[in-house]
């Protein structure tokens, strides 16, 4: 089994934002030389998430509208009263959505559904962000 690690760096521009990182992940897979295996896409940021969704800008906006309704940033959150910041809602949103996805790699490409894309969600931007990508599997020659 081969293992290849890389990072994707990006800068978000808004308080909450969806960033389609599918092409960047595909580029890492191509660079890895892995033909059959899996791709793990992970963010270590506690106010951001990685997830799969339909590639539709309106759906991304609906997603953030929904999260703002479900998890408003209440001043009574203890985190908002402490020394750590005023972003408790961002942390809670990240907990709900998750910090990674694992996608099959088949014939050197991600095995996504017809409409699926890999998204980075920022809930506390704008910020410089780092996404870890680990590709595991076999090359075409193995």
Q: Evaluate whether 47 touches 122 at the Cβ level (below 8 Å).
A: yes
Specify the pLDDT at position 82. Answer: 78
Residues 77-88: pLDDT tens digits? 999 987 877 999
Specify the pLDDT at position 85. Answer: 77
Specify the pLDDT at position 142. Answer: 85
Reported pTM: 0.95
Residues 6-65: pLDDT tens digits? 999 999 999 999 999 999 999 999 999 999 999 999 999 999 999 999 999 899 999 999
Q: Provide mean pLDDT across the span 68-79.
A: 94
Q: Provide mean pLDDT across the span 84-93.
A: 92
Specify the pLDDT at position 38. Answer: 98
Query: Would you list the domain boundaries of the chain?
Result: 2-138
Report how far residue 131's alpha carbon sits from residue 12's, in angstroms, rounded to the nearest whole number: 13
Which residues face 105 on adjacent strands? 37, 110
Q: Is the peptide bond before 37 cis (omega within 30 degrees of 0)?
A: no
Q: Evaluate whether 133 touches 5 at the Cβ level (below 8 Å).
A: yes
φ/ψ bin of 12: left (φ > 0), alpha (ψ from -120 to 50), beta (otherwise): beta
CATH class of 2-138: mainly beta
């Amino acid at each position: 089994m081969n293992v290849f690690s890389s990072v994707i760096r990006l800068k978000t521009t808004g308080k909450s934002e969806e960033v389609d990182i599918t092409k960047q992940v595909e580029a890492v897979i191509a660079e890895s030389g892995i033909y059959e295996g899996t791709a793990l896409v992970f963010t270590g940021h506690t106010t951001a998430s990685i997830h799969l969704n339909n590639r539709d800008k309106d759906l991304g906006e609906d997603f953030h509208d929904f999260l703002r309704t479900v998890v408003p940033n209440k001043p009574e959150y203890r985190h908002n009263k402490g020394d750590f910041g005023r972003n408790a809602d961002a942390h809670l949103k990240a907990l709900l959505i998750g910090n990674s996805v694992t996608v099959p790699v088949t014939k050197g490409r991600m095995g996504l559904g017809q409409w699926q894309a890999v998204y980075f969600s920022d809930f506390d931007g704008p910020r410089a962000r780092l996404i870890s990508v680990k590709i595991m599997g076999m090359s075409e020659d193995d």
